[in-house]
Amino acid sequence: MSLKDKISEAISALSGQGIELADVGIILGTGLGGLINEIEVLKTVEYSSIPGFVEPTAETHNGELIYGKLSGKTVIAMKGRFHFYEGYSMKEITFPIYVLNELGINALFISNVAGNLNSNWNKGDLMLFEDHINLLPENPLRGKNENDLGPRWPDMYHTYDVNLNESIITAAEQLQLTIRKGIYAAVQGPNLETAAEYRMLTGLGADAVGMSTVPEVIVAKYLGLPVSAISVLTDDCDMERLSPVNIKEIMEIAGESEKKMTSLIKQVIKKLD
């Protein structure tokens, strides 16, 4: 079955469950599912009932597609994403982006948690992606290209949409929230990095490091879908403050920052045309 046929099969299944066109897509990262509470939910669909969707295994990733209203817009939110370290292929990880795009969204917002490599920033800060460094060992576009979906060699110039990023910065100012702007490095995981690897990543120019987001962004760019991404910085990875990682603390910091992320996304969506 071709990729286009798989997309059509998923869309048909969603249509049968009452999910039609949407304005905005949202991918909710680890510990950041609270935005769902702000959505006027019209329909919740389990990933297991959507052809082509796999099951997330990471903690706090529920595996539900939420369809509803937020800030006056129709939104479709992924409560749970897939990671390469879970054993899934890049094609499986990014398949939902094709489906969201087919549902007509004109903007995609992605959130995650990440390690902080910038010694001038703190745990709990929000970082808006200005760019990324892809250190993952596979690419979601490898293989035969379907030319009616996107170009063989997609340009990654202004990968993160300038207008969406400006809207996020403006919204942060209006809400009096501090938002950092930086470079995200994507690595395979699931282990965290060694001290030498953190030093290497800093030398490459990265401000944060994580194990997600970049595959989805590559496909969004391939499809011509405007995308922005924000990290909650949950642990310090610079050499001056390095210490053993406390997963419980990471989840707590993500939870504490959830309100900031929620208010920011709501404000941005409200201002979208």
Confidence at residue 58, expressed as pLDDT on a 0 to 100 scale: 64
Cα 71 off chain centre by: 20
Confidence at residue 30, expressed as pLDDT on a 0 to 100 scale: 67
- Angle at CA 267, nearest 5°, toward 181 and 95? 70
264 pLDDT exceeds 80? yes
Alpha helix positions (H), the chain: 3-16, 90-102, 162-174, 195-204, 214-223, 247-271
Please state, in angstroms and rounded to a whole number, the distance separating the CA atoms of residues 152 and 170.
Answer: 35
* Closest residue by Cα to residue 177 from 253, 266, 261: 261
Confidence at residue 211, expressed as pLDDT on a 0 to 100 scale: 95
Q: What class has domain 3-271?
A: alpha beta
Percent residues over pLDDT 70 in the chain: 95
Tell me the pLDDT tens digit for each residue of 71-117.
999 999 999 889 999 999 999 999 999 999 999 999 999 999 999 99
Quote the mean pLDDT of the chain.
91
250 pLDDT exceeds 80? no
213 pLDDT exceeds 60? yes
Confidence at residue 35, expressed as pLDDT on a 0 to 100 scale: 84
Confidence at residue 59, expressed as pLDDT on a 0 to 100 scale: 60
Please state, in angstroms and rounded to a whole number, the distance separating the CA atoms of residues 17 and 80.
Answer: 19
The full DSSP string for 221-238 is HHHT--EEEEEEEEEE-S
256 pLDDT exceeds 80? no
Confidence at residue 57, expressed as pLDDT on a 0 to 100 scale: 77
Output the pTM of the full model. 0.94
Please state, in angstroms and rounded to a whole number, the distance separating the CA atoms of residues 167 and 174.
Answer: 10
Confidence at residue 23, expressed as pLDDT on a 0 to 100 scale: 96
State whether residue 77 is helix, strand or coil: strand
68 pLDDT exceeds 90? yes
Domain layout of the chain by residue ranges: 3-271
201 pLDDT exceeds 60? yes
* Contact indicator for 169, 179 with CB cutoff of 8 Å: yes
Q: Which residue has the higher pLDDT, 60 or 229?
A: 229
Quote the crossing angle between the two packed helices 90-102 and 3-16, to the nearest 10°: 60
